[in-house]
């Protein structure tokens, strides 16, 4: 009898607790209130934008008690809510394996099509964290992001890469950026949004921008607030509105080295003929990267660009500087850096460049481009840099 009474009393107590919980007000979810730009003072800076969203396994890491992939989806959603409703052409690509810019398994979630904020948001919402579309169909499955960008007449392109550093370093993003730069020239700018907090990763993002020739990288935390996202969108998507004039005066812009950057803005005068330059008029050949302990050239594209410049500029010479990470002894790394520089020099000579125009120097581990404490940083340090100058 006493046992029954205890059970009844316990049941009454639990019922009271549950009733109290039901009546308690739960805190509302955070509502994002985008800050919209005054379009009367701005004009469209880009004609096409493509967002490449990384949902690979490396994005399962947590930061501030949230998975990076969840934060990435949120950042893209907030970006979409802030982009002004101008006449853009847009695309949204997601991938769950491989390299973000040249992944054959990438899924085209939106476009390329005229930008519609609601449709873009619906496409994003339909994509789950495993990298699969939540509905049936095959809208562009297997296409590369670069193909999406180059369809039709893209005009000025803003490429926004939302990823951690792992897939930038270990995929083919740098090669894809070089190809896009070679096709579009100064019409493309790359804007990586870094989801992890790795210092070497930020260097990788900056290197991707450098390879592309235009743009800038940010950490996701830097643009999460409405005001910060609004500032980011202005820099990427908007330019100052041109004041109407009756007739523009005709004048000649001085461009002494013929690199399409006026002398008044050119920070690198006397650029060699035929090379691709960034917005400052500077030619920066991409680096050559190596596997651990190796001096075998895996990708010659950056060197081929330099070879072409050397052939049309007889007075141009190149200093080939070899570098390593800090994984071995200083003596070993010094020798390895010299061998890497010599391997690149041998490639130039085989392409018909006179040996006296190619100088080599090894710096071992003494000039790291990134921290040697991470695998990503060490990958950036196993490199050869090309430093051209005119005699």
pLDDT at 124 over 70: yes
pLDDT at 68 over 70: yes
CATH number of 39-240: 3.40.50.410
- Residue (of 72, 115, 62) closest to 96 by Cα position: 72
pLDDT at 220 over 50: yes
Rounded mean pLDDT, 130-136: 40
pLDDT digits 0-9 by tens, 348-389: 999 999 999 999 999 999 999 889 999 988 999 999 999 888
Give the model's confidence band at 290: pLDDT under 50 very low, under 70 low, under 90 confident, else very high. Answer: very high
Rounded mean pLDDT, 244-272: 66
Sign of CA dihedral 242, 246, 249, 250: positive
pLDDT at 183 over 50: yes
Q: Is 288-390 a CATH 3.30.1330.60 domain?
A: yes
Give the model's confidence band at 119: pLDDT under 50 very low, under 70 low, under 90 confident, else very high. Answer: very high
CATH 3.30.1330.60 domain extents, the chain: 288-390
Q: Average pLDDT, whole number, for the chain?
A: 78
Pick the residue with more confidence: 328 or 14? 328
pLDDT for 8 equals: 42
pLDDT at 243 over 70: no
Task: Tell me whether the omega of the peptide bond preceding residue 74 falls within 30 degrees of 0, making it cis.
Answer: no
Rounded mean pLDDT, 150-156: 79
Q: Are 99 and 58 in contact (CB under 8 A)?
A: no
Sign of CA dihedral 385, 187, 170, 77: positive
pLDDT for 259 equals: 67
Considering 121-125, 217-221, 251-255, 347-351, the range whose residues carry the highest mean pLDDT is 347-351
What pTM, to 2 d.p., does this model score?
0.53
Name, in order, each residue with C-beta under 8 angstroms of 69's C-beta and a sequence gap of 6 or more.
54, 55, 59, 60, 129
CATH 3.40.50.410 domain extents, the chain: 39-240
Q: Are 100 and 145 in contact (CB under 8 A)?
A: yes
Q: What percent of the chain has pLDDT above 90?
A: 32
Q: Are 276 and 213 in contact (CB under 8 A)?
A: yes
Rounded mean pLDDT, 253-260: 70
DSSP E strands in 69-187: the ranges are 89-95, 107-114, 157-163
- Residue (of 13, 195, 151, 167) closest to 100 by Cα position: 167
pLDDT for 141 equals: 28
């Amino acid at each position: 009898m006493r046992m029954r009474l205890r059970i009844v009393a316990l049941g009454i107590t639990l019922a009271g607790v549950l009733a109290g919980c039901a009546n308690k007000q739960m805190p509302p979810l955070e509502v994002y209130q985008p800050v919209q730009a005054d379009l009367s003072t701005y004009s469209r800076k880009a004609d096409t934008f493509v967002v490449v969203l990384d949902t690979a396994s490396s994005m399962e890491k947590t930061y501030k008690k949230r998975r990076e992939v969840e934060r990435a989806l949120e950042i893209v959603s907030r970006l979409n809510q802030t982009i002004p409703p101008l006449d853009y052409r847009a695309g949204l690509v997601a991938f769950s394996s491989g390299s973000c810019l040249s992944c054959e398994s990438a899924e085209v979630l939106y476009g390329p099509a005229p930008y519609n904020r609601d449709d873009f948001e619906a496409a994003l919402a339909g994509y789950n964290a495993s990298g699969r579309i939540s509905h049936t169909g095959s809208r562009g499955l297997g296409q590369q992001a670069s193909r999406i960008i180059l369809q039709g007449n893209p005009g000025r392109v803003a490429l926004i890469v939302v990823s951690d550093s792992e897939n930038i370093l270990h995929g083919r993003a740098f090669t894809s950026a070089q190809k896009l730069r070679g096709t579009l020239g100064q019409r493309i700018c790359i804007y990586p949004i870094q989801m992890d907090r790795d210092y070497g990763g930020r260097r990788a993002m900056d290197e991707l921008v450098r390879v592309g020739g235009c743009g800038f990288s940010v950490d996701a935390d830097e643009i999460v607030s409405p005001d910060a996202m609004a500032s980011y969108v202005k820099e990427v998507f908007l330019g100052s509105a041109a004041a109407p004039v009756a007739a523009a005066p005709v004048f000649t812009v001085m461009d002494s080295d013929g690199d399409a950057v006026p002398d008044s803005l050119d920070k690198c005068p006397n650029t060699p003929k035929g090379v691709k330059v960034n917005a400052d008029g500077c030619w920066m050949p991409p680096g050559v990267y190596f596997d651990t302990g190796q001096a075998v050239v895996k990708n010659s594209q950056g060197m081929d660009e330099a070879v072409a410049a050397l052939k049309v500029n007889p007075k141009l010479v190149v200093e080939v500087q070899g570098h390593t990470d800090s994984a071995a002894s200083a003596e070993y790394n010094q020798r390895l850096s010299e061998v890497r520089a010599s391997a690149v020099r041998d490639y130039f000579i085989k392409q018909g460049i006179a040996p006296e125009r190619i100088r080599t120097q090894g710096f071992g581990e003494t000039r790291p481009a990134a921290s040697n404490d991470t695998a990503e940083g060490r990958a950036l340090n196993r490199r050869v840099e090309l430093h051209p100058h005119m005699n």
